[in-house]
Structure 1
């Protein structure tokens, strides 16, 4: 059998990735040259399941225990990407039967925490990881060093280690000598120093925006960088480009994360129709791949969507579910989004004092909801709650704290929020500030444009400029009707009524009659995909898809899938 494999290997010289498997099967014992070739094939593999298998076989053929451990640990890293917790634990367990160096043992610990991004660890471990990355880089292994440093940076997002640790991580990243536009460097810079490095990160992201679809891992790093600096339009774009590649390669662990970023970004932009099925899919995959904090992230995005649509009981339940996971571990970004969801619920129900209290917690460094980057992303809601609750002085103080950041970075969410806040807090001199805010480029940010029109219309009516107010309020109503923002749509209608203009009744959008799972299936069917193709996308049987479609048709008042395209925009059109 070994001779047969060797003969096959000889005939496959022009297909090295196939040849190496026959070379491995024909090896009688340890063979470092074959192990190295398998390792190279693994790094080229588009499917991470095959790469893990190749590295595990390469480990078995390794001559030295050190190389065997390196390959087992690298296989474990890729298994994290694929969302296979049991495989990760088995590979790390195999590595730990060998004599490990300090760096290898630290890598083993880091890999095992990959499903939870180190949330069960002390923040002091972030500095240790940064030091480990520097040591690995000094030994001549820059790629593993960057992966370890990325783990340290991710922990800076989930927790708050303080400025000293952030500076230490940034110093290590700067010391690697990699180009400033490297996707991994952009990801690290954006997490560790979102305001200090925001301008240069955004400049590179705008260049990369036209080159997506080549490598899902690159797109994923870029989506994370865009999210950190509040460029939600770019984050949705990059994450949407990364997801198909992760899906086709079976990298469900990373697919979960890409979908979570895409859903959260689309919700922030106001595209609830697109965000809803994506958030539901991310939540399902997070459970399947054993990523509790990603499940909480997707769940709290669902809470935000429900609050914006006016389903306050559902929003409160989802927010509580997310908080239950995040609170004990101190997952700050999830807790910040929980407070956002509660603030949106309170705004919709007219409890403006509660809304301000909920949203202000995100800005308090002593509060577990404090998040360095996300506190700059929800200023519109904070300012609205402040004006309606009479807490304008407190809001102005929080804005003053953010002025240095706003002066140093063009981060879109921060700049849009600051312009809105300045206008609504300005009192009788607000007209010029509203005009300035509406002149800014809000392409792709319809929710923020709608809020500006609504606030400007309300201000004009209070100034007895009733005729002028109608134009602003009418525009706001049309935007919020299209987006499905129930509470804001109703507010625009009430203001218009007070300004002497009635509004047509708003019928529920067809998409609002479906559950997130049904909407996902319906949108794919509207694109023309068969039941089998939909099942492959969503990891369902074609019979299950058929059953769902037969439930969907009566809800929408149609009798066949041919009618779906007229009722539902395709997923690509909605996301765009």
Structure 2
């Protein structure tokens, strides 16, 4: 129902998913339930299904399906704010896709990694990853993967302040006939498109896109679509209507969407500052800065600091927690060790050698300032959750 008619059946799919019992289900069935949730934009429902599927698929050694499940899980983590987890899972998805000969899945994972690099302010690396994703995909025009890669390039450009480039990449998802045109994926990027369009001085195309998606939103409760549309309405509004639209967007339940809330606070603070409402602007800008710091989104955190400086308030540079000194592989292994798994169990779960796991932990301990396995949980803090 979800893949055949995400809009037409969105409400029923979401209602059915919320009623699924907690009984044991086959790993492939659980994975497909997670796919259904992601297809209708209910990424907040993906987690429980995918976590169960991933655990079972690991145990069964079904690497092809595990790669697919990891890819779906990444988008849940991205949209729902677990950026550190998204990096770990995307890297594992890319490695497994490469090793099992799944170029489409590998290209998707590279696009995810490109997006994550851009959000951390690593523009050059992000663009290189996007280009590698295109190379891996080759001449096969799979619109969902092309859309994903263009989404990544658009966000990279947006984070770097290159609004014209950002608009060009993101608009491809909305342009019928373009290889990146995708009726579902465009729903998830409408907020970014609106920001890029305003920055590029091209609000009218974005307003047309919003109007089209408003008709879609009237037919489906897709949570992420409605979150994005509220953001886009406020960003694209004229001065007379913007304040009420920002309040409406911020007043919605964003508890499952911390990144969307932080970006909305930043946009509101920027809007207030540009209208010389300096004192009012500082409050949302501070909140946005703090939220981005917690999420680890360095590019947007720096943007919030720039806006605060323009509003006459300085901010200390973000001090990275010790866990961010680890490579993604070291962090992944350290998390599992903190959860109580032995080196052998970690090796089996990640399809690595026992010696490789030991080496990564040996390198991680001094970076975290610890000397024993028992200190891992405290050293990792809240990053140790799976």
Q: Which of 231, 237, 240 is the equivalent residue of 1:426?
A: 237
CA distance in 2, matches of 1:511, 1:427: 43
CA distance in 2, matches of 1:408, 1:347: 30
Using the TM superposition, give the Cα deviation of residue 512 of structure 1 relative to its aligned residue in structure 2, in angstroms: 2.7
Using the TM superposition, give the Cα deviation of residue 289 of structure 1 relative to its aligned residue in structure 2, in angstroms: 2.2
Alpha-carbon distance change, 220 to 571 in structure 1, aligned in 2, over 3 angstroms? farther
Q: How does 1:356-435 map to 2 (within 5 A)?
A: 356-428=167-239, 429-435=241-247
CA distance in 1, matches of 2:181, 2:213: 14
Alpha-carbon distance change, 570 to 433 in structure 1, aligned in 2, over 3 angstroms? closer
Using the TM superposition, give the Cα deviation of residue 215 of structure 1 relative to its aligned residue in structure 2, in angstroms: 2.8
Task: Report Cα offsets for 1:468-514 as digits up to 9, x if no partner.
Answer: 21111111001100111111101111111222222122012333322
Alpha-carbon distance change, 323 to 268 in structure 1, aligned in 2, over 3 angstroms? farther
Q: How does 1:230-379 map to 2 (within 5 A)?
A: 230-379=41-190
> Which segments of 5 or more consecutive residues in structure 1 lack a partner in the other structure?
1-188
Alpha-carbon distance change, 550 to 343 in structure 1, aligned in 2, over 3 angstroms? same
Using the TM superposition, give the Cα deviation of residue 268 of structure 1 relative to its aligned residue in structure 2, in angstroms: 2.4
Using the TM superposition, give the Cα deviation of residue 460 of structure 1 relative to its aligned residue in structure 2, in angstroms: 1.5
Other-structure match for 1:214: 25
CA contact (8 A) 1:524 1:570 kept: no
CA distance in 2, matches of 1:243, 1:379: 30
Q: Which of 273, 283, 301 is the equivalent residue of 1:461?
A: 273
Q: Tell me the secondary structure at the aligned position of residue 224 of structure 1.
A: helix
Other-structure match for 1:194: 6
**More RCO (CA 8 Å, sep 6+):** 2
Using the TM superposition, give the Cα deviation of residue 264 of structure 1 relative to its aligned residue in structure 2, in angstroms: 2.3
Greater Rg, structure 1 or structure 2?
Answer: 1
Q: Determine if the alignment matches structure 1 residue 472 to structure 2 residue 291.
A: no
CA distance in 1, matches of 2:382, 2:57: 21
TM-score normalised per structure 1: 0.65
TM-score normalised per structure 2: 0.95
Q: Tell me the secondary structure at the aligned position of residue 408 of structure 1.
A: coil
Q: Which of 325, 340, 344 is the equivalent residue of 1:532?
A: 344
> Which segments of 5 or more consecutive residues in structure 2 lack a partner in the other structure?
none
Q: Tell me the secondary structure at the aligned position of residue 328 of structure 1.
A: coil
Using the TM superposition, give the Cα deviation of residue 379 of structure 1 relative to its aligned residue in structure 2, in angstroms: 1.1
- Deviation >6 Å, runs of 4+: none
CA contact (8 A) 1:213 1:219 kept: no
Using the TM superposition, give the Cα deviation of residue 515 of structure 1 relative to its aligned residue in structure 2, in angstroms: 2.2
CA contact (8 A) 2:147 2:181 kept: yes
Q: How many residues align?
A: 385
CA contact (8 A) 1:264 1:279 kept: no
Once superposed, what is the RMSD of the aligned Cα atoms?
1.7
